[in-house]
Structure 1
Amino acid sequence: MQNASARPMGIGRLLDRSFQLYRKHFIVLTFIMLILYGPFYLLQHLLTFQETAVTSGSFIEQIRNGGSLQDMFGPNSTFLQNDPALRDEGYVWKMLVFVLVLVPIMFLGLMPASIASVVHLVKASFDGKETPSLGQLLKKSFTRFWPMAGSTFLFGLIMFGFYFGIALIMIVFAVIFAVGGSFSSSVGGFGGGALAFTIVFFAILGLGALFTFAYFMIRWSYYLPYVALGEESIGLGRSWSLSRKSFWRLFGMYIVLSIILYLFLAVVQLVIAAIFGLGLGAQLLQSLISILVMSLWFLPYVVSFFDQRVRNEGLGLESMIDSTISDASTPYLPIDLDKKNEL
């Protein structure tokens, strides 16, 4: 694997190598995700399955029963009338527990640990070493738990700041256009050309905001493997340097990966909901499918991390040099010419 991995890869090879690793280590990866995320999803569904079933159940039931569009989306549809906050007095505290307890556990604990386990698995494959066992991978994933949690918190805080700033800019422009539109209407009317310009402007502004957010997120997102491997305590600066020439390739990879996985999960979840409804069992089955494919979200990220190190940091070159030095240091054994002639 080492020689094959020590070459820079394009989008196709990154995804292909990720799917190869997924098939090869499917059992280990599945058990890791089940151990880490299984209890989380179980608690989540036990906490919120009634609200999820009621808010979405009427829509699925209408599909299963052949309901019309008027039944599904009309003013009297149960899909629009069912409000968990009005039905259940405990809805607010359930959401507070979910947001303040489960979500931090997910993003500061489970996600860094699961990615770290994938990092160590891919690194062993890259180095041509024996694949660590399930217990070894879980142990390694929690060895750097607090640095990973701290750097993930810092990364999330920075990205939230970007998100808040972008949202604030959007609000400012919306207010400016709203005031300008009201003024134009009062003095001479708001023409169709101005309306079309407003729509196009906000479409471009929205796309620009999404692209800006994606740019900084990708550039800083490769901090975690450095921290998991013990090479950095935070790793954000290292990630920025690592991805400086790879943004478009990484952006394209994530777009293709998202389309593939979201379409697959959407189809599977619709089939499960249409057949089994939206009870607790069906929701747990949907979560099980999500867990089975969860490592496919992480593998391209980790494989692209090592690929960028090959491109920008010469990863793999050191082992090649060591191999060359080892070959050069092999003692020269002179050949006895008399024995050679006898042969």
Structure 2
Amino acid sequence: MQSTPLRPMGIGRILDRSFQLYRKHFVALTLIMLILFGPFYLLQHLLMYQETASTSSSILDQIRSGKSLEDMFGADSYLQSNPAAQDPEFIWRALILMIVLVPIMLLGLFPASMASVVHLVKANLLGEETPKVGQLLKKSFRRFWPLAGSTFLGGLIMFGLYIGLAIVIVIFAIVFALGGSFSSAVGGSGGGGMVLTILFFILLGLGSLFAFAYFCIRWSYYLPFVALEEESIGLGRSWKLTRSSFWRLLGMYVVLTLILYLFLAVIQLIIAAVFGLGLWAQLLQSLISIIVMPLWYLPYAVSFFDLKVRNEGFGLEAMIEHTISSSPYDKSEELEPFDPFDDPQPINLDKKE
């Protein structure tokens, strides 16, 4: 266990440590995601098989066969028309996906996978032996119902906030529409009013997006508290934990989203160009998504413990207990502030003086 205090980390260091953990525990993280999300993606694609099977030829094959861009992306192409969507069987399969599989993923698979990553990061933070995949999953599913319940409650709150913001935008749209009709009837319409209206709705949309992101980030750190058995819900603790850290967390997620979405977009374009949009291509895309998925989770878990260090003195109690139980030492030999994700340097016992 560490004997020096944990130090706060900036955005760059959080992301750097997250990528280091990803490389170090790549096999374990990938196995966790495959075990949890592999069956879900497989069932999803099997349910949508009729829709995807007709697009097995790749874009490169279509170009080599002489098809033009109009043939591939025009009004009569598969990308623009989907006759399978009119099939009653397809509608039933889509309903099964939305009513059964998606709730299982959102309320079961997502919290369990995130909890597993939290336990893995905590073990590395405290210098403990990293639990095996089975142990991580066992710890996560031991808190399944509290995790599912708190996730449902948090999702319900964010859905209500989303509906509230949408209602506000609709009300403003109705008011402006009525006001514009009245101005046209009076004869006072002009281009300047239209420009101001567009600018107003742009600002209103950005403000609504910012408000949604603010509350989402402030409440999003409930899950580690529940996974670590510190809270049964965790929304209140999350709100307290993230105070004065919104802009830093928002910047971290913006940078992470740009990096990962750009990477995934390039990979998907390559897969579509080589394999087309058929079943096997979509299975390959799902496999890539599963492999990349821990990179979404790790910065969340690392930033959670960083917030605990900043606001709750996480690790300080363990350091005090270790200091009291150990013998006095010379201040000249005091170590640098502890970085929980740095690997300890090996000691060469064969070195001679």
TM-score by length of 1: 0.89
Alpha-carbon shift at residue 191 of structure 1 (Å): 1.7
After superposition, what is the alpha-carbon deviation per residue over 1:154-201, rounded to whole angstroms, capped at 9, x for unaligned?
000000000110111111111112222222223225321111111111
C-alpha distance in 1, partners of 2:51/2:177? 36
Residue equivalent to 1:125: 124
Q: SS at 1:129's partner residue? A: coil
Q: Tell me the distance in 1 between the aligned counterparts of 2:90 and 2:306.
A: 46
Q: Which amino acid aligns with 1:182?
A: S
Give, as a single letter, the amino acid of the residue that structure 1 aligns with 2:255: V
Q: Is the 8 A contact 2:3 2:319 kept in 1?
A: no
TM-superposed CA distance for 1:126, in Å, is 0.4
SS, match of residue 90 in structure 1:
helix
Q: Which moved more, 1:229-238 or 1:75-84?
A: 75-84
Alignment of 1:1-40 (within 5 A): 2=2, 6-40=6-40
1:293 aligns with 2:292: yes
Determine if contact 2:112/2:140 at 8 Å carries over to the other structure.
yes
* 1:187/1:39 CA distance change after superposition, 3 Å: same
Q: What is the aligned partner in structure 2 of residue 194 from structure 1?
A: 193
**Residue segments in structure 2 that go unaligned for 5+ positions in a row:** 330-353
CA separation of 1:3 and 1:35: change in aligned 2, threshold 3 A: farther
Matches within 5 A, 1:1-343: 2=2, 6-52=6-52, 57=55, 61=59, 65=63, 75=75, 78-86=78-86, 88-188=87-187, 190-327=189-326
User: Residues 63 and 309 from structure 1, CA distance in 2 versus in 1: closer, same or farther, beyond 3 angstroms?
Assistant: farther
Higher normalized helix content (fraction of residues): 1
CA, structure 1 residues 271+202, in 2 after alignment: closer, same or farther (shift >3 Å)? same
After the TM superposition, list the runs of 4 or more consecutive aligned residues in structure 1 that deviate by more than 4 angstroms. 1-5, 57-64, 66-78
After superposing the two structures, state which structure 1 stretch, 316-325 or 67-76, moved more.
Answer: 67-76
Relative distance call for 1:58 and 1:132 in structure 2 (3 A) is closer
Asked whether the equivalents of residues 59 and 79 of structure 1 are also in contact (C-alpha less than 8 Å), the reply is no
Report the equivalent of 1:336.
none
- Alpha-carbon distance between aligned partners in 1 of 2:234 and 2:195, rounded to the nearest angstrom: 45
User: Contact (CA 8 Å) 1:48, 1:94: kept in 2 or not?
Assistant: yes
SS in 1 for 2:288: helix
Shift of 1:274: 1.1
Measure the CA separation in 2 of the matches of 1:198 and 1:2.
59
Percent identical residues: 69
Q: Taking structure 1 as reference, are residues 69 and 202 closer, same or farther at Cα in structure 2, changes over 3 Å only?
A: farther
Rounded to whole Å, the distance in 2 between the matches of 1:168 and 1:3 is: 53
1:323 Cα deviation after fit: 1.8
2:348 match: none
**1:334 matched residue in structure 2:** none
Distance in 1 separating the partners of 2:73 and 2:10:
45
Higher relative contact order, structure no. (Cα contacts within 8 Å, ≥ 6 residues apart): 2
Q: Is the 8 A contact 1:58 1:79 kept in 2?
A: no
74-83 or 22-31, larger mean C-alpha shift: 74-83
- Give the Cα separation in 2 of the matches to 1:59 and 1:189: 57
Q: Alpha carbons of 1:174 and 1:74: their partners in 2 closer, same or farther (altered >3 Å)?
A: farther
**Aligned with 1:79: secondary structure?**
coil
Aligned residues: 327
Contact 1:62 1:72 in 2 (8 A): no
Question: d(CA) in 2 for partners of 1:176 and 1:289?
Answer: 47
Partner Cα distance (2:3, 2:290) in 1: 31
The structural deviation recorded for 1:94 is 1.6
Aligned-residue RMSD, C-alpha? 2.4
Structure 1: gaps (5+ residues): 331-343
